[in-house]
Amino acid sequence: MRTLLLIISFFWTGTTVLQAQDDLLSLLGEEETVDYAAYAFKSPRVINSHSLEMLHAGALDFRILHRFGRLDQGVYDVFGLDNASIRLSFDYGITSNLTVGFGRTNQKKEIDAFVKYRLLRQSTGAKVMPVTVTWVSGITRNGLKNPYPGESISGSDRLAYYHQAIVGRKFSDHFTLQLAPTVVHRNLTSGSLDPNTIYALEMGMRYKLTQRVAILLDYVHSFNRFPNLVVRNPLSVGVDIETGGHVFQLHFTNSTGMNERAFITEANGSWLKGEIQFGFNLSRVFQIVQPKI
For residue 170, give the CATH number of its domain. 2.40.160.40
Identify which of 143, 201, 150 has the alpha carbon closest to the alpha carbon of residue 177.
Answer: 201
Cβ partners under 8 Å of residue 235, min gap 6: 217, 218, 219, 253, 254, 271
In a domain, 6, yes or no: yes
Does 282 fall in a domain?
yes
* Confidence check: pLDDT of 184 > 60: yes
- pLDDT interval class at 70 (50, 70, 90): confident
Section 76-102 average pLDDT: 91
What pLDDT score does 154 carry?
87
Average pLDDT over residues 184-198: 90
Residue 293 falls inside a structural domain: no
Average pLDDT, the chain: 88
Is the pLDDT assigned to residue 11 strictly greater than 80?
no
Alpha carbons within 13 A on the beta-carbon side of 256: 16
Considering only 3-7, 141-145, 205-209, which range has the smallest mean pLDDT? 3-7
CB-based contacts of 202, cutoff 8 Å, min separation 6: 49, 164, 166, 178, 179, 180, 182, 218, 219, 220, 221
Predicted TM-score (pTM) of the model is 0.86
Q: Flag whether 253 is in a domain.
A: yes
Residue 132 is assigned to a structural domain of this protein: yes
The answer to the question of residue 292 being in a domain is no
Per-residue confidence band for 16, with pLDDT thresholds at 50, 70 and 90:
very low
**Looking at per-residue confidence, does 284 or 82 come out higher?**
284
Number of domains in the chain: 1
Identify the domain containing residue 55 by its residue range: 2-287
